[in-house]
Structure 1
Amino acid sequence: MAPEVFVDILREALQMVILLVSAIILPSLFVGLIVSVFQAATSINEQTINFLPRLIVTLLALSWGGHWLTNQLMEFFFEMVHRIPEVVG
């Protein structure tokens, strides 16, 4: 039960979190940037205009990538279950 095992598990978990969150957040970030540039170009200062497109894109990213996200989480979970003997003994 070496400390390196726990560091590897933590590193893999953080990589998984970054991968899953970026798959949801990055499309919303790009749409928010496009809407903000449009608002700056047209001098529209309404804050609610930026919310709805970002919400829709986030929901679409979740619905289109939900199967892939679930598959990634399941693979990670199965890998962690297979590593239990390595951690325990």
Structure 2
Amino acid sequence: MTGPEVLDVARDGVVTLIYVCGPMMIVGLGVGVAIGLIQALTQIQEMTLVFVPKIMAIFVTFMLTLPFMGSLMAGYMNRVAERIIAG
């Protein structure tokens, strides 16, 4: 395997990682900002208040996007396996 081929596999892996983790990270960020805004408006400064809603939102997002994430990871594995078999 040459250098450019290695870089292609690495780039494809990073792009797949961003697509797989992106929805959960965006939801976690959104929930964190919303809870932070509510805490600032009500002047409740409880640090542990943000964790339960964020964990629940990320879990629901994970369950909803699991088929999408599985197909992306399976596609990446198929592309890597094709490179292994071909080269």
Give me the CA root mean square deviation: 1.1
* Whole-angstrom CA distance in 1 between matches of 2:35 and 2:10: 37
Q: Percent identity?
A: 20
Report the AA paired with residue 21 of structure 2: V
Shift in Å, 1:76: 0.8
Matching residue of 2:24? 24
CA distance in 2, matches of 1:82, 1:10: 15
- Find the counterpart in structure 2 of residue 70 from structure 1: 70
Structure 2 counterparts to residues 46-65 of structure 1, below 5 A: 46-65=46-65
For residue 85 of structure 1, report the CA deviation from its aligned partner.
3.8
Runs of 4+ in 1 over 6 A off after TM superposition: none
Q: The residue matched to 1:45 in structure 2 has which SS?
A: coil
Q: How many residues align?
A: 87
Structure 1 residues 13-64: Cα deviation after superposition (integer angstroms, max 9, x where no partner): 0111111111211101101100000100110001121111100000001110
Q: What is the TM-score when the length of structure 2 is the normalising length?
A: 0.93
Show the counterpart of 2:9.
9
Secondary structure, counterpart of 1:64 in structure 2: helix
- Compare 25-34 and 14-23 and name the one that shifted more: 14-23
